Amino acid sequence: MLLVGAAGHAYAQAAQICGCAVGTITIRVNRARKLQFPERPLHPDLWRKVRPASSLSPHLYLKAVQLTEQEGAVAPGTSATVLRRMREAFFVQGLDVARLDVQQEVGRQAGADADRARKHLADGRAHALLDRDYREAESLGVKGSPTMSLNQGRQTLYGNVGYRIIEANIQELLREPNPDHASWR
């Protein structure tokens, strides 16, 4: 867990360092995350049997739903609901969210308009919106998801960062809010 979560190594790198199979690292990291975040259930098949080929496809679908919401074709908050349910579909239910049929079913259950979402996927508008997000992330120096930028960008936390580390950083900034000073001195 430390090699992947804290040090930021990929699963394959951590496996090489530990001298074990990638699957062993995957199982141990998932087990550690369950212990670390017991309020967040994780499906036991994650990364062993359920391995989405890419996160691009669900991100595109979410952008398509976001566009339908911006047009007023679905209720306000629908895209946030689809996002939450997409995460639940993967992490809790162990579904392959890279598959369009899974995305559409998640969207249907959340009240998304499947026809409009398909239209935005087909006409490139969802792609353009996602590309704009990627370009903005790059310009801001975002390295992973989620990313938290603190102290006017002087501190960046990203990826699987524990709540205690996030809280410690925020508490220190609240104690010493001057951006001209280092937060850890």
Q: φ, ψ for residue 66 (rounded to 5)? A: -60, -40
Q: Is 146 helix (H, G, I), strand (E, B) or coil?
A: coil
- pLDDT tens-place string over residues 54-63: 889 999 999 9
pTM for this entry:
0.66
Domain ranges (residues) in the chain:
2-36, 56-140, 145-185
8 Å CB contact between 64 and 121: yes
In total, the chain counts a number of residues equal to 185
| CB burial string 118-127: b at 16+ within 10 A, e below | eebbeeeebb
Low-confidence winner among 3-12, 19-28, 44-53 (lowest mean pLDDT): 3-12
Residue 72 burial (CB count, 10 A): 8
**pLDDT at site 37:** 54
User: Look-up: residue for tokens 């580390």?
Assistant: 165
pLDDT band at 120 (very low <50, low <70, confident <90, very high): very high
Q: Work out the average pLDDT over 163-170.
A: 80
pLDDT score recorded for residue 123: 97
